[in-house]
Each structure stands twice: as structure tokens, then as C-alpha cells.
Structure 1
């Protein structure tokens, strides 16, 4: 079960306030509080440690059994629509609509995310080499190509809270290198002030400049 970390000095963009959550045979969080600054945040833990559960709580997709999530002062439980309008979250394992192409999906994101960057989208499409896949249905792409399209949209969204779950899954070495470069750029020169970019992974992903880290017990 996760214990409360030491508070951080900078004002939080995202706050977990007294969170209780778990399953019948396994409590995950018990009166857990943490403050997260803008910047890169790592949620680290092995398989089954609760990384995706924490992302779902952060996204407002799941409600805690007690406590609240606050994003720039907005409560996920009291103002769910306003909260989730600030979040980019899609489970990379979730199935894609049968006829949806990568281009269709990106077009939809443009209408949802007010801080969407067309320049960033095209940069990530080129960086991950997925331009030739944009006309294809998402369900026809390999798991790695699906992951690249998803992350290109995530990073281009500009969402104040952007959640990436196991982003290296299915990627080759060149694609991993591009992802790490993109995260480094986001950390050193963020396009959107106050943006919290949370990455869930089993290790620390090298020497990225994490502003905060949550290590989940095994």
C-alpha cells in the first residue's frame, strides 16, 4: 500500500488529497496525499503495482473511495466535466473503433483540446515515421504503430494533465530514442505553462529531469 511522500516546495498543479482506493483483496491507497508540480512526473512500479489504477484516478475516470483529486484547483469529483476537459488520457490497451483512421482520430482531438498544436503533431508524426499510416484504420496498425499515433496525439494535445501509460511498449530503439528526446524537450521548454505530464513505467527511463516521482511498492 502506498504511503504519503514528503511534500514538495513548489505550488502543486495536481493534488491528491486523502485518496483511498483499492480492490477487495488489495488496498492500493490509504489516506494518501501528494502534490505534483508542473513538469515531468514519473509513476514507477512493476506489473500489478497499481500504475494504471493511479492514472485512472488522476484522469477522473475512476472515483476514489475517499478523498479527491484537484487539477489547478478543480475537483474531479465535484466538477467532473470541467476536470476531465483538462485531461488527456486513453488506455493504450483499449480497442479502437473499427473504422477510425489515425487521421480521423487526430481531427477529433483538434476539436477537444484547446491547446492542440498542429506543429507538434506534425513533428511527432515525422519523428516517429508514421506519416504513411495516417490513412489506415487504427485497428489495422501494429501495437507499436498504434502507440506512436497515440503518443503523438497526447504530446500535441497540450492538455494541462497528460497521462502516458507504459509508453515504451511495442517501440523499437529508434522510436524509444525519439520519445525520450520529446520528453526532454517538454521538460526543458514546455509549450504549455503549468502542464503536468505523467509517465507510468517500471523504471526511471534514464536521466530524464523528473520534477516528482511516485514509486509504487511491489
Structure 2
């Protein structure tokens, strides 16, 4: 794995995409370095869409995305193994128990860390909810499951949409601690999409939309 902090984890070049005219992105290019990057913008500016494109969950009209030398357009599956992203509104896992969803991650992400997952479950106070199917969880508890997955999966690139939405105060404090550690990681990158910068986090860069 790349450990040079000057080398980008993700390279985005010439990204072009739009649901209609005018385009959301036209020739958008940037690098994501290790640490924490913020994608910031008002509603309708394309924050969530940009994360979907970076995840390979939505096809761009033009442009290239490369994680650690793996081109999305050439090696889709290998690229997706190196990126964690989930739509926080998804219903795809509703029938699974929370623990079942988390346990399934090891089959998709080669560097999934079960010890880290146990610590995250404790930190987010998810223990009482693990046996419940996802559809029975509150919005905040579902968000905690997604965040646990995001930090346990061990991917070079982790994309998180509105990470603090619906969280209780203790979980917000715990997440801020995780992001403080992430900000100094020498090899992995986290990209957050939100309206404002998280308090007390040293950001690698801000992408303003």
C-alpha cells in the first residue's frame, strides 16, 4: 500500500456529469491525499453525486478515477474493493440484522478489521441493536452502523455523506475522535460531504462545490 503522504490516494481527472443542463461537473479534476478531505456545498450542488461518482456507484459521462493506480474504467471490481461508500438512505440491507450486515463486509473488503469493528460497536453504543434487522433501527442507529462499516473496512479511500446527521452527542464526540486520527493517517484517505467543516479536524483540502 502507498505510504508516501505526497502521493494521492485518488486521482480525479476531467470528470463530466449532469442529470440535465447545466452540467453538475464539467472538467472537474483534483487529487485526494491521505487524511481527511471535505466536499462542501449547499443543497443541489452535487456533494452526494460526487461521492457516488468517486465510489463507482454512478457512471460519469467523461473522466477518469484512479485509486492507487487502479483505474475504475479498466478494473471496476478491484477499484470498488479499495473504496468504501454507502448511500445512507439505502434500503438494500433492510432484511439483514445489523450484525449480519457488518459481518458480511469481510467478504468484500480484503483489509476489513474485525478488532476495529468491535471497538467501533462499543464506541457507537451499537451493542443493544446488533440483533435487530436494519429496517427496525432508527435513523441515528442506522447511521452508526454505516460509520462502523466505514471505519472497519480498511479501504484506502472511504467516502462518507453527512457523517454527523442524526447522531447523538456521545456518538458525535466519538466520531470526531476517529476523524482526528484519520487526519494524520499516512496512507488512507477519508472524504466527507457536508455543509460545514467538522470542528477540530485538520483537513487535507476542501473541495467547494
Q: Report the Cα offset of residue 140 of structure 1.
A: 0.2
What is the alpha-carbon distance in structure 2 between the residues aligned to residue 85 and residue 74 of structure 1?
A: 10
Q: Report the Cα offset of residue 10 of structure 1.
A: 2.5
1:165 paired with 2:158, answer no
What is the alpha-carbon distance in structure 2 between the residues aligned to residue 25 and residue 132 of structure 1?
A: 47
Aligned residue in 2 for 1:18:
14
TM-score, scaled to structure 1: 0.89
Deviations 1:167-210 (A, max 9, x none): 1111122211111111112223x3xx521111111101112011
Q: Report the Cα offset of residue 17 of structure 1.
A: 0.7
Aligned residue in 1 for 2:199:
206
Assess if the C-alpha contact under 8 Å between 1:96 and 1:139 holds in 2. no
TM-score, scaled to structure 2: 0.93
Distance 1:30 1:166, change over 3 A: same
Aligned residue in 2 for 1:6:
none
Aligned residue in 2 for 1:144:
140
SS in 2 for 1:11: coil
Assess if the C-alpha contact under 8 Å between 2:38 and 2:193 holds in 1. yes
Aligned residue in 1 for 2:109:
113
**After the TM superposition, which of the residue ranges 24-33 and 158-167 deviates more from structure 2?**
24-33
Aligned residue in 1 for 2:45:
49
Assess if the C-alpha contact under 8 Å between 2:9 and 2:32 holds in 1. yes
SS in 1 for 2:27: strand
Equivalenced residues, count: 205
Q: Report the Cα offset of residue 98 of structure 1.
A: 4.0
Question: Cα RMSD (Å) of the superposition?
Answer: 1.4
What is the alpha-carbon distance in structure 1 between the residues aligned to residue 200 and residue 42 of structure 2?
A: 19
2:61 to 65, 74, 86: 65
Structure 2 residues not aligned, in runs of 5+: none
Aligned residue in 2 for 1:179:
175
What is the alpha-carbon distance in structure 2 between the residues aligned to residue 121 and residue 11 of structure 1?
A: 28
Distance 1:215 1:98, change over 3 A: closer
What is the alpha-carbon distance in structure 1 between the residues aligned to residue 94 and residue 82 of structure 2?
A: 27
